């Protein structure tokens, strides 16, 4: 979670007005010196104080993968998560965990068979 733009602006303004050193300003505003230094670097290099976009990890199920998953369950709604993961690996050569398949099904609002022992 990023801190407010107002706080960033005030902290950097105090620094630019030479009202103290990095450590004392960070202590005054109750922020870490590391985050303060990163704000300074961002301001100097990009000229902005807004937070950067979170990179995150891309999903292993892109548009085609989600379509494949939906079609697989349309053809055979008895497939388990394990079977869906194995089919996906055969088709695309990408190994996915059961939790990844579960999240993809949730994204599609699809019900699925959880295991082969369900009645």
pLDDT in tens, 44-80: 999 998 888 777 888 888 889 999 999 998 898 888 8
Q: What is the value of pTM for the model shown?
A: 0.52
Per-residue pLDDT tens over the stretch 21-49? 999 999 999 999 999 999 999 999 999 98
Any bridge partners for residue 80, and if so which?
Answer: 113
Selection from 93, 15, 82, 78 nearest residue 49 by Cα? 15
Q: Which of 38, 34, 43 is nearest to 13 (CA)?
A: 43
CA distance 91 to 78: 19
């Amino acid at each position: 979670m990023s801190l407010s733009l107002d706080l960033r602006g005030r902290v950097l303004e105090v620094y630019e007005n030479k009202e103290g050193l990095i450590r004392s300003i960070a202590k005054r505003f109750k922020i870490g010196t590391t985050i303060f230094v990163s704000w300074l670097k961002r301001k100097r290099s990009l000229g902005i104080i807004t937070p950067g976009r979170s990179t995150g990890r891309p999903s292993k199920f892109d548009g085609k993968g989600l379509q494949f998953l939906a079609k697989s369950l349309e053809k055979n709604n008895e497939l388990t998560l394990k079977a869906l993961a194995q089919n996906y690996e055969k088709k695309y050569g990408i190994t996915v965990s059961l939790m990844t398949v579960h999240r993809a099904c949730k994204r599609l609002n699809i019900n699925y068979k959880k295991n082969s022992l369900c009645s």
